[in-house]
């Protein structure tokens, strides 16, 4: 069983220099096809393999599994991954057997991932709701995510969203500056937001966009420093091991 948090690049990345703007990270899917993913796995901390304690040199724990890897986002209005669907709709979704996809259903296939359940991480306020990331639990085996474990991760997603909201309340001006910059320079669709068409709702949405930029900036600083990502010629790319 693995768990990971994915952040969103749709509003850009705050750590890049002025004039440098990206809304996706290039990676390769399980078949080696390149794609520009709008989500990136920022944190992954799966439990160690049961046999790792006996022989860790032979059986690694898989800590940071797929950290830095991109996840496909959208093609127009179509969601190309479970992560994108949860971010767009604001509701958790579960797939107990990824290998049993129906015709016409987007392929969520990832190496060593047979069942998964994803939850939105949201900043919620009286002015609306805005998604700021997605938490996923993943298993190598089909039908292996229990309802009890699902409930625990759902609670964790709510707690993480509350902590982000606490940070946002104390950093509102900086978030507004980042959000206004995203609105000025990006024509990227504004996804994962539910606000009333009021002045207060629009201000909240702008702050959500700014928070997404800051979260992406925090993680991208780490990814670039650890050489998991490379930024060159205006293009952000996952660097293979």
Integer Cα distance of 133 and 123 in angstroms: 10
Integer Cα distance of 84 and 156 in angstroms: 19
Q: Report the relative pairing of strands 34-37 and 25-28 from DSSP bridges.
A: antiparallel
Please indicate, yes or no, if residue 57 is contained in any of the structural domains: yes
Give pLDDT tens digits for 142-166.
888 888 888 988 999 999 999 999 9
Please indicate, yes or no, if residue 239 is contained in any of the structural domains: no
Please indicate, yes or no, if residue 99 is contained in any of the structural domains: yes
Please indicate, yes or no, if residue 238 is contained in any of the structural domains: no
Residues of the domain holding 218 = 2-232
Integer Cα distance of 6 and 67 in angstroms: 9
Has residue 63 got a pLDDT over 80? no
Total count of domains within the chain: 1
Residues 6+ apart with CB under 8 A from 222: 42, 228
Residue 55: pLDDT band by 50, 70, 90 thresholds? low
Residues 6+ apart with CB under 8 A from 56: 48
Q: Count other Cβ atoms within 10 Å, centred on residue 139.
A: 20
Residue 60 main-chain phi, psi, to 5 deg = -70, 165
Query: What b/e sequence results for 24-60 when a residue is b if at least 16 CB atoms lie within 10 Å of its CB, and e otherwise?
Result: bbbbeeeeeeebbbbbbbbebebeeeeebeeeeeeee
Give pLDDT tens digits for 103-117.
444 445 566 677 889
Predicted TM-score of the model (pTM): 0.87
DSSP alpha helices (H): ranges in the chain? 82-89, 147-170, 172-185, 199-225
DSSP symbol at 113: B
Please indicate, yes or no, if residue 31 is contained in any of the structural domains: yes
Residue 205: per-residue pLDDT: 94
Please indicate, yes or no, if residue 237 is contained in any of the structural domains: no
Express as a percent the part of the chain with pLDDT over 90: 53
Give pLDDT tens digits for 118-141.
999 999 999 999 999 999 988 888
Mean predicted confidence (pLDDT) in 88-97: 90
Q: Count other Cβ atoms within 10 Å, centred on residue 178.
A: 23
Residue 21: per-residue pLDDT: 86
Give pLDDT tens digits for 200-222.
999 999 999 999 999 999 999 99
């Amino acid at each position: 069983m693995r768990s990971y948090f994915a952040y969103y690049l749709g509003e850009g990345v705050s750590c890049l220099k002025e004039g440098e703007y990206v809304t996706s990270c290039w990676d390769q899917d399980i078949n080696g096809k390149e794609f520009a993913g709008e989500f990136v796995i920022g944190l992954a901390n799966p439990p160690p393999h049961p046999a790792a304690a006996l022989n860790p040199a032979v059986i690694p724990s898989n800590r940071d599994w797929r950290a830095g890897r991109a996840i496909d986002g959208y093609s127009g209005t179509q969601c190309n991954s479970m992560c994108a669907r949860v971010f767009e709709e604001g509701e958790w979704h579960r797939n107990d057997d990824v290998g049993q996809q129906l015709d016409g259903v987007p392929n969520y296939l990832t190496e060593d991932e047979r069942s998964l359940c994803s939850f939105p991480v949201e900043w919620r306020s009286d002015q609306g709701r805005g998604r700021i990331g997605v938490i996923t639990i993943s298993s190598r085996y089909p039908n292996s995510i229990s309802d009890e474990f699902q409930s625990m991760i759902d609670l964790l997603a709510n707690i993480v969203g509350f902590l982000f909201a606490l940070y946002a309340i104390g950093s509102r001006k900086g978030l507004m500056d980042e959000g206004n910059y995203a609105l000025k320079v990006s024509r990227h669709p504004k996804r994962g937001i539910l606000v009333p068409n009021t002045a207060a709702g629009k201000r909240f949405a702008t702050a959500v966009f700014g928070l997404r930029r800051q979260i992406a900036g925090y993680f991208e600083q780490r990814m670039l420093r650890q050489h998991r990502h490379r930024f060159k010629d205006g293009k952000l790319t996952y660097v293979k091991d």
